[in-house]
């Protein structure tokens, strides 16, 4: 683990024992009974002081809004967010902070952006709200150290490489980064008694099912290393959950788009990985003139217009699903949920929505299929609707893309300027 200048100290250390004083229940001698009124007086005073502290904390700006003491049903206060510098992780961290959780972000900044951390730090500067630790989850010693120094109540594990095309070219990177790093996290959680895990999984674990829409019991037959690595990680988590009292929520995301409606965060993929990039990143790159146009990869699929069908879910809805999952997570229980809108849209439809949202008449080229792609996936979200009382509020592609476009237009260098300030 390397320290960066902006790294905040851990707030509470597991290695520092909490003060405790045993209270004698029986066999008190006379001197003890003489001291009883004094002790009762001190206790009453301590009680009053505690009540006063709670009142002040509730009214102080850093704990304004819904109370930290009543809001978090599962008793969770401090959440470890792995990959919190990334697109989805940073949006999740923002939501958790807004909901008065304490957040520790661990990120190796290989795909995420220091600028996103900087934005969060500026929004939540109060000591103890947000801690950033620069570390790689492949480094088990560093990870253990982090768990040793912090008392986490829950882990949201976002950190992962996540490009389908890249996974077919560099499968070992994917198995290492996704499957093996999840094992490191689980081992650290087990060793340090952290018992709630919200895991970022994907519709790619289903592969190309015969029947649509996809439910949580649709058989999983992933067809690319990305989906396989995520499926293996799911299996490891599920096996471990059978032997422990861990609370597990596995969320299988469909295709994530959009950004913070208040324009504080956005999607900022690495330019050097552009060739593997997702369709949303490519849409904005093309609209901004960073690339000459959009390349539609595959027009001969057995779908209505020959292009792939995907279920596009807004990142604001997605992080809401995480918070609901965290609220509903319970010991010895596993929940597996699809997170999607339930609507399938073709790549051609996406391109049209992108043109309308950006107002740019983007040049489109039609190319060969991309290795690892499946023709059609969209979710049946009824289980998450029913059990977590969650449903997608953004179901209009153009609306999500318009929100994201605002951030893209006002940040043509994405997070570069924020990152420069941060260093
Ligand atoms: O430039 C591009 C990018 C993508 N596409 C196409 O757009 C469709 C969607 O591709 P994306 O790369 O955006 O997304 P994918 O469906 O491959 O996977 C995505 O969704 C599931 C998540 O878990 C994955 O992390 C994410 O990458 C595919 O048909 C792809 O071939 C293009 O036509 N052009």
Q: Is ipTM strictly over 0.95?
A: yes
CA dihedral (81, 344, 329, 100) positive or negative = positive
pLDDT at 80: 98
CA of 25 to the centre of ligand 1 (A): 65
- Other C-beta atoms closer than 10 Å to the C-beta of 384 total 25
Mean per-residue pLDDT, 146-152? 98
Residue from 224, 232, 182, 216 nearest 373 by CA: 224
- Other C-beta atoms closer than 10 Å to the C-beta of 15 total 8
Q: Which atom of ligand 1 is nearest to the CA of 307?
A: 29
pLDDT at 364: 98
Query: Probe ligand 1: pick from 200, 207, 255, max atoms within 8 Å of CB?
Result: 255
Catalytic annotation, residues: 226
Cβ–ligand 1 distance for 297 under 6 Å, the answer yes
Q: Is the pLDDT of residue 330 over 90?
A: yes
Confidence of residue 75 (pLDDT cuts 50, 70, 90): confident
3-state SS, the chain, equals CECCCCCCCCCCCCCCCCCCCCCCCCCCCHHHHHHHHHHHHHHHHHHHHHHHHHHHHHHCHHHCCCCHHHHCCCCCCEEEEECCCCHHHHHHHHHHHHCCCEEEEEECCCCCCHHHHHHHHHHCCCCCCEEEEECCCCCHHHHHHHHHHCCCCEEEECCCCCCHHHHHHCHHHHHHHHHHHHHHHHHHHHHHCCCEEEEEEEHHHCECCCCCCECCCCCCECCCHHHHHHHHHHHHHHHHHHCCCCEEEEEEECEEECCCCCCCCCCCCCHHHHHHCCHHHHHHHHHCCCCCCEEEECCCCCCCCCCCEECEEEHHHHHHHHHHHHHHCCCCCEEEEEECCCCCEEHHHHHHHHHHHHCCCCCEEEECCCCCCCCECCECCHHHHHHCCCCCCCCCHHHHHHHHHHHHHHCCCCCHHHHHHHC
pLDDT at 52: 47
Contact 208, 374 (CB under 8 A): yes
Comparing 45-54, 136-145, 346-355, the range with the smallest average pLDDT is 45-54
Q: Is the pLDDT of residue 420 over 80?
A: no
CA-to-CA distance for 273 and 276, rounded, in angstroms?
6
Ligand 1 atom 29: residue of nearest CA: 308
Cβ–ligand 1 distance for 282 under 6 Å, the answer yes
Q: Which atom of ligand 1 is nearest to the CA of 350?
A: 7
Comparing 40-49, 92-101, 132-141, 169-178, the range with the smallest average pLDDT is 40-49
Ligand 1 atom 21: residue of nearest CA: 255
pLDDT at 44: 60
pLDDT at 4: 43
Mean per-residue pLDDT, 81-87? 98
pLDDT at 113: 97
Residue from 90, 10, 88 nearest 419 by CA: 90
**For a pLDDT cut of 90, what percent of the chain falls above it?**
80
Ligand 1 atom 16: residue of nearest CA: 255
CA dihedral (414, 417, 419, 422) positive or negative = negative
**Could you read off the pLDDT of 376-389 as tens digits, one per residue?**
999 999 999 999 99
Comparing 142-156, 262-276, 409-423, the range with the smallest average pLDDT is 409-423
pLDDT at 76: 79
**For a pLDDT cut of 70, what percent of the chain falls above it?**
81
CA-to-CA distance for 199 and 335, rounded, in angstroms?
10
pLDDT at 74: 72
pLDDT at 61: 32
Contact 70, 48 (CB under 8 A): no
End-to-end CA distance of the chain: 17
| Angle at CA of residue 243, ends 242 and 244, nearest 5° | 100
pLDDT at 416: 84
**Neighbouring residues of 256: CB distance < 8 A, sequence distance ≥ 6:** 87, 88, 312, 313, 314, 315, 318
Cβ–ligand 1 distance for 230 under 6 Å, the answer no
Confidence of residue 111 (pLDDT cuts 50, 70, 90): very high
Confidence of residue 22 (pLDDT cuts 50, 70, 90): very low
Mean per-residue pLDDT, 71-99? 92
**Neighbouring residues of 239: CB distance < 8 A, sequence distance ≥ 6:** none
Mean per-residue pLDDT, 330-354? 98
- The strand order across the sheet containing 334-339 reads 130-134, 102-107, 78-82, 154-157, 196-202, 247-253, 334-339
pLDDT at 354: 98
**Could you read off the pLDDT of 179-234 as tens digits, one per residue?**
999 999 999 999 999 999 999 999 999 999 999 999 999 999 999 999 999 999 99
Q: Which residue has the higher pLDDT, 5 or 162?
A: 162
Q: Which residue has the higher pLDDT, 160 or 56?
A: 160
pTM of the entire structure? 0.85
Mean per-residue pLDDT, 56-64? 34
Q: Is the pLDDT of residue 96 over 50?
A: yes
Cβ–ligand 1 distance for 88 under 6 Å, the answer no
Cβ–ligand 1 distance for 295 under 6 Å, the answer yes
Q: If you average pLDDT over every residue of the chain, what do you get?
A: 87
pLDDT at 216: 98
CA of 279 to the centre of ligand 1 (A): 5
Cα–Cα separations (whole angstroms), residue 246 to 88, 326, 384: 24, 13, 20
Query: Probe ligand 1: pick from 297, 321, 372, max atoms within 8 Å of CB?
Result: 297
CA-to-CA distance for 303 and 397, rounded, in angstroms?
19
Mean per-residue pLDDT, 106-119? 98
Ligand 1 atom 2: residue of nearest CA: 279
Q: Which residue has the higher pLDDT, 346 or 41?
A: 346
């Amino acid at each position: 683990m390397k320290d960066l200048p902006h790294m905040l100290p851990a707030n509470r250390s597991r290695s520092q024992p909490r003060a405790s004083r045993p209270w004698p229940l029986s066999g008190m001698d006379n001197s003890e009974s003489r001291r009883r009124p004094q002790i009762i007086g001190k206790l009453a005073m301590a009680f009053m002081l505690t009540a006063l502290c709670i009142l002040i904390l509730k009214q102080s700006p850093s704990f304004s809004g819904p109370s930290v003491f009543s809001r978090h049903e599962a008793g969770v206060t401090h959440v470890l967010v792995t990959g919190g510098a990334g697109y989805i992780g940073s949006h999740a961290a923002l939501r958790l902070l807004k909901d008065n959780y304490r957040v520790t972000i661990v990120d190796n900044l290989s795909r995420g952006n220091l600028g996103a951390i900087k934005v969060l730090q500026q929004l939540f500067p109060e000591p103890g709200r947000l801690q950033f630790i620069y570390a790689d989850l492949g480094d088990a010693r560093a990870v253990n150290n982090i768990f040793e120094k912090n008392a986490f109540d829950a882990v949201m594990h976002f950190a992962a490489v996540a490009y389908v095309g890249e996974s077919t070219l560099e499968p070992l990177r994917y198995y290492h980064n996704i499957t093996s790093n999840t094992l490191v996290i689980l081992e650290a959680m087990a060793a340090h008694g952290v018992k709630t895990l919200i895991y970022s999984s994907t519709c790619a674990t289903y592969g190309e099912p015969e029947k649509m829409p996809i439910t949580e019991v649709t058989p999983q037959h992933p067809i690319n290393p990305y989906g396989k690595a995520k499926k293996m990680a799911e299996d490891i988590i599920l096996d471990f959950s059978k032997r422990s009292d861990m609370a597990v929520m596995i969320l299988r995301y469909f295709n994530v788009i959009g950004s913070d409606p208040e324009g504080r965060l956005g999607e900022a993929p690495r330019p050097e990985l552009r060739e593997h990039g997702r369709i949303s990143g490519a849409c904005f790159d093309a609209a901004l003139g960073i690339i000459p146009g959009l390349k539609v990869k595959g027009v001969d699929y057995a779908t209505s217009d020959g292009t792939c069908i995907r279920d596009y879910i807004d990142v604001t809805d997605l992080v809401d699903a995480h918070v609901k999952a965290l609220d509903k997570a319970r010991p010895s229980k596993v929940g597996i949920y699809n997170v999607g809108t339930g609507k399938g849209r073709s790549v051609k439809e996406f391109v049209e929505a992108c043109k309308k949202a950006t107002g740019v008449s983007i040049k489109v080229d039609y190319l060969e299929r991309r290795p690892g792609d499946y023709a059609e996936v969209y979710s049946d979200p009824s289980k998450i609707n029913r059990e977590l009382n969650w449903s997608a509020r953004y179901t209009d592609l153009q609306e999500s893309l318009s929100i994201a476009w605002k951030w893209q237009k006002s940040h043509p260098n994405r997070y570069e300027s924020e990152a420069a300030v941060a260093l």
